[in-house]
Every structure is written in C-alpha cells, then in structure tokens.
C-alpha cells in the first residue's frame, strides 16, 4: 500500500453501508421526509399524504418515512407517528423543519403542494423550507394552474427550481409544466392517483349493509362547497326519478370547514331547499360526515353510479374518482382534467358542466340498460387495476429512487487531474473567466482573481512538465503585472477580451489574493527569475493593499505575508502586516463570537476557512498560542457547518451570503472545498490531529462525488471541474475558478500525503459519519435558523 493509500484509505468499495448493499445486488434502504396534511385532517391532501405513508410502509418497508405534518392554524389537531409538526402560519416552523430534515440525514424530501395549505400569500411560506433542505426535493403538484396569478406563478417557479423531480397525476398537468413552466420532461413523472384493490361486483351485498337493498344508488363524496356542482345533480333528479322512482342519491361528506367558519351550513341548507322545491327530497340521503377510508370504500361499493359534477374543468386530480373507478363503479362526470384522462375509451361517461338535462339523460341511459351499466362498471374495474396500491407504491418507490444519491467512491482519491482543461481556458493574454459547458466564453473576458490562482497552480503542479509550467507562469505573471494601476496604487480586476480594462481598481479581495499569490510565487514559482519578480511585486503591492480592511482581504494578505516570511524571514513589512492582520481578525472573532456562533462576522460568505487558516498560520509564525487556538476554534465551527449529517462535505451555499446567522445549502461552489482542504492542512500542521486530515479528505471528495447530489465535478482526464452543485444537480459549465480550485485542492492533498506523520494513519477508511462526529465533539450546538 502506498503512503497516500495508507494516509487516506483506498476509497474502494470495501467500506460497509450502502456499497455493500450494491455489491449484493440489493436495494439500499433510504429515508424520506414526507410533507403534507395527514389524518385526522379532513382534506384531499391529508388523505393522499396518508395513503403514501401507509402504502410505502405496506409494500416497501425498506423505505422509512418521516412525517412532517402541515397543521391548519385555524383548526389545530393532534397527530400520531409524526416526526415534525409545521403550523401553517408560523414561518419559523418551516425553517425548523428544514433544519431537522438536514440533521436527520434524510435521503429525499417529498413535498405535497397545494397553494392553500401553506401560510403566506399563495402559500409562499413553504419557500422557507424548500430553500433550506439539502436532500433532493420531490414535489407532488396537486394543482397546476393554466392561468396563475403573477405571484402564484412566482411561487411555483421558485419551487420548481429547487425540485429534483416533479410528480403530477395527469398527462395534462405534465403538458402544462412543459409548455407554461418550461420544466424538462425528464424531471417530470406522471403517477396516477392510487386506489384500493377490491373484488368486482359486490354492490348488492354492500347496499344491504346501509339499508338500500334492491334500490338504484347514486353517490357523490367530498367536502361540500359551491365548487362541487351538486345543485346540477339535484336539478337532474326529477327526470331521473320519473324513470326510476326507487333511485336514491347519497350525498356523503361534511361541509368544508372554511365554509362553515364563514357562513355555517348555508350552502347545505340551500341544497336541501332546492331538493324540497323540486319534490325530490325523499330521494336524497345526506350523510354529513367526512368518512375514514375503509368506510368510504364500503359506501362506494354500495353505489351503482358515482357522480363528480365539478364545474371547474382545471381540477387535475380527484382521489374519490380514482377509488370509484378501481371499485368498478359507473362514473358520470364533467370533463375536468382527471376525469378526461381516467374515463377515456368508455371507462365512464363524460357530460357537459352545469347541464342537468345531460346528466339526467346519461344516468337514465345507464339505469335503463342493466347490461350497459354492467359493461361500464366492468370496464372501470379493469382500468382500475392500473392504479391499485401495489402499482402506485411501486411507482412511488421508483420516484424516490430516481433522486436518492448513492455515493461514488470509485475514483482514486489522489488520481492526478489532467492539465488540458487549464490550457484550454488560457491564451496569450491569460486565463479566461467563464465557459459555456467546456468551451471558453470570450464575452466575459479575463479577471485578475483567476490569473493569480493560475500562477499559484504553476508553482505546485509538479506533474506538468517544467517547461510548460514556466511558459504559462509567464503568461499569468504578465497579466498580474499589467493589472497594476500605478496611479491608484492598486490592481485592476476585470479585463475585456479586447484587453481593455473594465475598471480602474479591482475589488479589495482580488488585490488581497494577488498579494497572497505573489508571496507563494516567492517560494515556488517554476524558475528563479519569476521568484525574484514575485518578490519585487510583493514589495510594491503590500503597503497599499495591507491597508484594506475587509476580513477576507486581510486574510489573503496575511497568507501572502506568511509565504513571504518563509522565503525571507527578515521581511519587516511582511511581519508588521501579518501582526496587524492577526490582531484585526482576533478582535473581530472576539467581538462577534456568541455561544452558538464562533465566527468573525454575523454572516457566512465565500472562502470562509481562509479566515481561520490565516489566524492559525499567523499564530504559528508569531508564536501566539492564543491566535492559534482562536483560529482552530473558528475552523472547528466552520467545519461543523460544512459537514452534513451523512458525513459528506456541504459547502456554505451562495444563497447564504448576506443572511445573518444562516447557512443555506445551495448553490455550492468549488472555492469552498479548496479553502477547506488548505485550512485543514494548516490545522494539521499546527496540531498533528489527524481529524484535520480526515476533514481535508472529506472536503476534497466533494469534487469526486461526495456531495449532496452524488455528482462528480472534477474530471480526472482533462482536469476540468464543473461550476458547482445546485438543488437540481450540477452546474455543467467549467469556469476558470472551478478548474483552478479542483487542481489546487488536488495538489494540496498531495502535499498533505507527503508530510511526515501522515503515513501513520490507520489503513482502513473511517466512515464519513465518524468524521462528522469527531469534528462535532468540540461542540454540538447547531446553527440558529439554519
């Protein structure tokens, strides 16, 4: 076994856990956080969520389901077997639920979406949850509006951007998502509403149970409200009763609680009055209850014809329609979305909305011809075999498995990335900033930040032939030299492709990074002439740049000073600047620190570990143990923020920037992983604690698939790197910053493996969760609101 393998483990499939399941050909267990209403809440979403929970448990017990219930703040209920309760009008509950799901290390989050069940305008409070969950998000859309309001569209599009998969229950909804919301078809899965599997033809036996033996029974079920169209059926009853005096229309279901709250039972009473006026009150049976599933199915079995006379043609799903079809009932329905698809090809009878005469004719035609009635019922029952619970549960499992991340540990940890990705982004001017996929994008030109990183790479990329490193180092050094503005005594940053500068002074951080790169080049530039050049430019730049006081700029300058002192221990200005920067960072940390927040600022941003790295390094150079410990404590804090409960690296997401005391999971960028590797190496050098070697490995594996989406970002062959991890997967572009972060992180790992003592680490890989536990052993309080 090589020193590198001895230090970090082979990374093969010998580790226990998920990979052992894969080797045996078995499906690995997974854990899903399911969000929606739940029984005993009386609404369609609650029933559907309950169905998912029960059917996955019944048919796929290796998928464990955590219930996170949306509770109606107006009518709070008690729930059994739930992992979390989200009060619909409390924004902090959505944030807390996301935090718990992340801490639970769930493999997927499955959200049932309907605008009306969440708090805020058009249910926009749910965005507080979907923005914070790190696991892949599945969304079931129970409503896809063809003509949404501007804000409804904004809310749904936000959710769709976060979702890895979108489930709908109709082809029509899928079409709307593609045409109106521009969702790629491969992200959409159509799973028809599930239904029970019961024998055909037991109607008479169940009629006897409710006292209607021998009668013709029609039925409608659901929460009563004006949107159900029941008055149209009542208006049709006189014509039906004239032909079939024994018919009974059973209206089963409580009045919608929101309607009761606003107007009591006025709507039901208006229907009763209508029936009285039309002389059919004796042919209507009211059951003012919301039935549990078993009783509902029994009552459905007791009917001959099931009616859904809904006037809203956009309704995309009806659970009771699916149940009625699966139980073999003849369905007469208006042609709303779900009915058009489920009742096609003679499975049921479609009628125009708000046409009592048409409903009467359709019902009479079925009741007049028992053979036709039986044929339609049998056709429905046969169609229902496609949606019975085992089929639904199988499709639900496929949906979950389509998003679950399975870690890829097949790439050797320290396989050397190729160099062609770097040169493809470079020309005689310097390194271009951005790309479209793998092709350089000239529209955005160049920037100083990338060219200073590229110069750093030329100093350490010892697998690249020396002559090639020298050639490209000259290009990048020339760019840096040309970026200096002597009038402003600062470096410019952005350059157009035509070599014109975009501004007279670049950002403070770009100036700080340049000082850092020049300090490194004083030691490791690939020829002596460049090392002398770097020393001269370091002296020119240090004095003006070290006056800039942005924390990351200070850290970059400090890192440059540490490098300069390594090359020239008597460099007085570097020593003074290093001490000044360390005092500033130490003071920031002391002022901002609180029990659950050991950090320099109230916000997290990019390149976070560089602050800790600079303070640890300064403490070592200046022999200040207190600065070393302050740097280590802050690095332990940021490491905890950037290791998931599963044990893989989770960089602070770019959506975190500017949010006090927050840590959002996306978008994740390569710069953070490289910074974590470097900072962990500095901590290891200061302490000899191999925990930091493990953290460096964890951070580097982020490039190789050890991330929230299991995506391999770094391409070993070309040395390119994708631009980051998003909620939907990976950003396929390969910009300079990402390529350089991957390359530099690799060579940092190689340097760690070469250090004395790193070869004494135990040979077998440490499970990722053990790494997380070791880092967290210094303190386990979690980030407030994250």
The mean per-residue pLDDT over the stretch 139-168 comes to: 96
d(CA 368, CA 377): 15
The CA-based angle 163-166-171, given to 5 degrees, is 155
- Give 27's pLDDT tier (boundaries 50, 70, 90): low
d(CA 371, CA 466): 89
Write b or e for each residue in 166-180: b if 16 or more Cβ atoms lie within 10 A of its Cβ, otherwise e: bbbbbebbbebbeeb
What pLDDT is stored for residue 396 in this prediction? 96
d(CA 167, CA 191): 7
Higher local confidence (pLDDT), 84 or 312:
84
Length of the chain counted residue by residue: 786
What pLDDT is stored for residue 777 in this prediction? 37
What pLDDT is stored for residue 317 in this prediction? 80
The mean per-residue pLDDT over the stretch 65-87 comes to: 93
Please write the tens of the pLDDT for every residue from 730-775. 999 999 999 999 999 999 999 998 887 665 333 333 333 333 333 3
d(CA 704, CA 695): 15
What pLDDT is stored for residue 759 in this prediction? 52
Residue pair 38/5 in contact by the 8 Å Cβ criterion? no
What pLDDT is stored for residue 342 in this prediction? 93
Does residue 8 have a pLDDT over 50?
no
Element (H, E) at 674: helix 670-687
Indicate the Cα dihedral angle 524, 530, 531, 535, nearest 10°.
Answer: -130
Q: Order the strands of the 284-287 sheet from edge to edge.
A: 284-287, 248-252, 217-221, 305-308, 330-333, 349-350
Q: Two tokens at 371? A: 């053979």
The mean per-residue pLDDT over the stretch 346-368 comes to: 96
Does residue 1 have a pLDDT over 70?
no
The mean per-residue pLDDT over the stretch 238-242 comes to: 97
d(CA 461, CA 117): 56
Sequence-ordered strand ranges (E) for 643-759: 724-726, 729-731
The mean per-residue pLDDT over the stretch 60-71 comes to: 96
Residue pair 619/635 in contact by the 8 Å Cβ criterion? no
Please write the tens of the pLDDT for every residue from 669-685. 999 999 999 999 999 99
Does residue 23 have a pLDDT over 70?
no
What pLDDT is stored for residue 28 in this prediction? 67
> For residue 38, what is the DSSP state?
-
Does residue 776 have a pLDDT over 90?
no
Does residue 15 have a pLDDT over 60?
no
Q: Which residues contact 266 (CB under 8 A, 6 or more apart)?
A: none
Indicate the pTM of the whole model: 0.83
Please write the tens of the pLDDT for every residue from 510-531. 999 999 999 999 999 999 999 9
d(CA 752, CA 758): 7
Residue pair 212/240 in contact by the 8 Å Cβ criterion? no
What pLDDT is stored for residue 530 in this prediction? 97
Q: Which of 702, 710, 680 is nearest to 775 (CA)?
A: 680
Q: Which of 558, 514, 556, 554 is nearest to 538 (CA)?
A: 514
Please write the tens of the pLDDT for every residue from 437-453. 999 999 999 999 999 99
- Give 485's pLDDT tier (boundaries 50, 70, 90): very high
Instruction: Please state whether beta strands 330-333 and 439-447 pair in parallel, antiparallel, or not at all (unpaired).
Output: unpaired
Query: Which residues is 333 bridged to in the sheet?
Result: 308, 350
Query: What is the maximum span of the chain, computed from C-alpha positions, in angstroms?
Result: 109
> For residue 494, what is the DSSP state?
E
The mean per-residue pLDDT over the stretch 403-421 comes to: 87
Is 74 in a helix, a strand, or coil? coil
The mean per-residue pLDDT over the stretch 480-497 comes to: 97
Indicate the Cα dihedral angle 292, 295, 297, 302, nearest 10°.
Answer: -150
Higher local confidence (pLDDT), 26 or 387:
387
Q: What does the mean pLDDT of the chain come to?
A: 91
Residue 522: phi and psi, rounded to 5, are -60, -25
Does residue 11 have a pLDDT over 60?
no
């Amino acid at each position: 076994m090589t020193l590198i393998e001895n230090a970090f483990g082979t990374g093969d499939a010998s580790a226990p856990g998920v990979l052992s399941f894969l080797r045996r050909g078995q499906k690995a267990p997974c854990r899903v956080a399911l969000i929606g209403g739940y029984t005993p809440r009386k609404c369609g979403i609650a029933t559907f969520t309950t169905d998912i929970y029960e059917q996955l448990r019944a048919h796929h017990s290796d998928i464990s389901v955590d219930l996170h219930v949306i509770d109606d703040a107006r009518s709070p209920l008690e729930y059994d077997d739930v992992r979390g309760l989200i009060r619909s009008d409390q924004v902090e509950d959505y944030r807390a639920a996301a935090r718990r799901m992340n801490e639970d290390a769930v493999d997927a989050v499955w959200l049932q979406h309907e605008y009306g069940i969440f708090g805020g305008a058009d249910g926009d409070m749910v965005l507080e949850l979907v923005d914070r969950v790190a696991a892949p998000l599945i969304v079931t859309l129970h409503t896809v509006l063809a003509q949404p309001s501007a804000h409804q569209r904004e809310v749904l599009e936000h959710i769709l951007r976060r979702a890895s998969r979108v489930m709908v229950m109709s082809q029509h909804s899928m079409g709307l998502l593609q045409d109106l919301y521009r969702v790629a078809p491969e992200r959409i899965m159509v799973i028809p509403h599930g239904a029970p599997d019961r024998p055909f033809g037991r109607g008479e036996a169940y009629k006897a149970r409710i006292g209607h033996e021998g009668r013709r029974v029609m039925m409608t079920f659901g929460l009563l409200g004006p949107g159900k169209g029941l008055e149209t059926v009542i208006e049709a009853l006189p014509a039906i009763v004239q032909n079939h005096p024994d018919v009974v229309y059973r209206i089963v279901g409580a009045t919608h609680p929101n309607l009761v709250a606003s107007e009591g039972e006025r709507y039901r009473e208006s229907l009763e009055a209508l029936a009285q006026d039309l002389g059919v009150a004796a042919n209507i049976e009211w059951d003012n209850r919301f039935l549990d599933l078993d009783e509902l199915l029994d009552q459905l079995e007791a009917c001959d014809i099931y009616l859904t006379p809904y006037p809203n043609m956009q309704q995309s799903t009806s659970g009771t329609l699916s149940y009625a079809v699966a139980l073999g009932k003849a369905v007469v329905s208006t042609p709303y979305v779900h009915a058009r698809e489920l009742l096609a090809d003679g499975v049921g009878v479609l009628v125009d909305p708000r046409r009592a005469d048409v409903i009467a004719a359709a019902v009479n035609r079925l009741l007049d011809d028992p053979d036709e009635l039986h044929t339609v019922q049998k056709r429905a029952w046969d169609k229902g075999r496609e949606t019975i619970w085992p089929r639904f549960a199988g499709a639900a499992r496929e949906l979950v498995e389509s998003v679950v991340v399975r870690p890829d540990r097949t790439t050797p940890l320290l396989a050397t990335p190729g160099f062609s990705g770097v040169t493809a982004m470079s020309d005689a001017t310097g390194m271009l900033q951005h790309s479209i996929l793998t092709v350089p994008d000239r529209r955005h030109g160049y920037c100083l930040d990338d060219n200073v990183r590229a110069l750093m790479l030329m100093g350490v990329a010892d697998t690249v032939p020396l002559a090639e490193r020298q050639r490209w180092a000259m290009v990048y050094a020339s760019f840096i030299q040309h970026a200096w503005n002597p009038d402003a005594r600062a470096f410019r940053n952005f350059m157009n492709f035509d070599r014109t500068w975009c501004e007279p002074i670049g950002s403070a951080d770009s100036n700080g990074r340049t000082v850092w790169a020049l300090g490194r080049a004083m030691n490791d530039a690939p020829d002596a002439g460049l090392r002398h050049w770097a020393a001269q430019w370091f002296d020119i730049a240090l004095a003006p740049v070290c006056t800039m006081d942005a924390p990351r700029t200070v850290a970059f300058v400090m890192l440059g000073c540490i490098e300069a002192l390594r090359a020239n221990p008597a460099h007085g200005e570097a020593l003074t600047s290093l001490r000044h920067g360390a005092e500033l960072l130490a003071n920031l940390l002391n002022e901002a620190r609180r029990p659950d927040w050991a950090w320099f600022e109230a916000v997290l941003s990019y390149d976070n570990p560089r602050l800790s790295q600079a303070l640890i390094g300064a403490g070592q150079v200046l022999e200040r143990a207190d600065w070393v410990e302050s740097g280590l404590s802050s690095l332990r804090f940021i490491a905890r923020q950037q290791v998931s409960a599963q044990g893989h690296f989770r960089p602070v997401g770019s959506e975190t920037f500017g949010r006090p005391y927050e840590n959002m999971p996306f978008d994740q960028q390569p710069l953070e992983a490289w910074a974590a590797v470097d900072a962990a190496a500095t901590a290891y050098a200061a302490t000899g604690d191999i925990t930091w070697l493990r953290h460096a490995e964890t951070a580097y594996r982020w490039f190789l698939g050890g991330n929230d989406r299991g995506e391999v970002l770094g391409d070993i062959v070309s040395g390119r790197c994708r631009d980051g991890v998003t909620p939907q997967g990976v950003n396929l572009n390969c910009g300079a910053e990402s390529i350089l972060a991957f390359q530099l992180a690799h060579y940092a790992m190689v340097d760690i493996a070469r250090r004395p003592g790193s070869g004494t680490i135990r040979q077998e890989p440490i499970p990722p969760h053990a790494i997380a536990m070791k880092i967290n052993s210094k303190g386990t309080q979690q980030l407030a609101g994250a």
